[in-house]
Amino acid sequence: MNMTAADIFSSIEKIRAQAPLVHNITNYVVMNTTANALLAIGASPVMAHAADEVEEMVSLSGALVINIGTLSPDWVEAMLYAARKAKELGRPVVFDPVGTGATTYRTGVAREILEEVSPEIIRGNASEIMALAGCRASTKGVDSTAASDSALDAARELNSRYGSVVSVSGEIDHIVDHTRVARVSNGHPMMTRVTGMGCCATALSGAFACVQEPFVAASMAMALMGVAGELAVQESGGPGSLQLHFFDVLYRITLDDIGRLLKVEVTA
């Protein structure tokens, strides 16, 4: 099995045609950014976190994205309500354990979410994935201090415990399920100087999960992030212009763009 540019572009065309609603319960820092990324690729984002409406909102949605970047108890409660409803309805749940390992509270919440809802996709950096699996890993705030491949065992462990596809971002992204590993070698270091790029990867995983099974969706999201990031960096004089060119590229990306740059390898 492999993943071609045509596979990815055909999924993007499905997203553009169907404009699936993606329900996000995410952090304050990146809400604007991930909404713009979802709109640019052709999805329809909604941000809603009131306990009184999250179950109804998720029932209208093609996927649920939860992200604990700026968590607090009432938001976590809403995430759990929404995620349980999503599971009940068979909608994919994508979980971003931002900053797991940095504080006891954050790690505890992340594990509670895993135990309660077994998300279809977990998308984090190496430090977060290792902390989530219980490895001794060092996290500095929300930025990873470990390389992506050092988290491969942790990713496999989380997959075997919760059945989740685990998507570990880094210089090389690794996407793991029980039989396969996808390695995406696209991207650019300047992307780490823009806040919310990891959260965009998570949100786009949600968009792809509306039109593809979780492993393929998670891999396509990372490939698109990397290719679009490389294209955007070419036009950018720094991280400020990178952020906006990234949205422009998502909006107008072509099969040829992906074909020229794609570096993905899937092994069994």
Residues near a second copy (CB under 8 A) are 19, 21, 23, 27-33, 35-36, 39-40, 44-50, 52-53, 56-57, 60-61, 69-74, 99, 102-106, 140-143, 192-196, 236-241, 243-252
Q: Which is nearer to a second copy, 78 or 155 (CB)?
A: 78
Least distance (Å) from a second copy to the CB of residue 234?
Answer: 12
Q: Which is nearer to a second copy, 156 or 251 (CB)?
A: 251
Degrees, nearest 5: CA angle 226-229-233:
140
Shortest Å distance, C-beta 22 to a second copy: 9
In this structure, the dihedral spanned by the alpha carbons of residues 76, 121, 159 and 145, taken in order and rounded to 10 degrees, is -80
Q: Which is nearer to a second copy, 90 or 237 (CB)?
A: 237
Minimum CB distance to a second copy, residue 199 (Å): 11
Least spacing, CB of residue 222 vs a second copy, in Å: 20
* Nearest CB to a second copy, comparing residues 37 and 264: 37
β-pairing, 121-125 vs 165-169, is parallel
30 vs 184, which CB is nearer to a second copy?
30
Which residues neighbour 6 within 8 Å (Cβ) at sequence distance 6 or greater? 255, 259
Q: What is the DSSP letter of 193?
A: G
Nearer to a second copy, 7 or 257 (CB): 257
Q: Least distance (Å) from a second copy to the CB of residue 140? A: 6
> What does the radius of gyration of the chain's CA atoms come to, in whole angstroms?
17
Minimum separation from the CB atom of position 92 to a second copy (A): 17
Which contacts qualify for 176-180: CB closer than 8 Å, 24 or more apart?
Answer: 176/152, 177/214, 177/215, 179/268, 180/1, 180/215, 180/266, 180/267, 180/268
Q: Specify whether the CB–CB gap between 244 and 258 falls below 8 A.
A: no
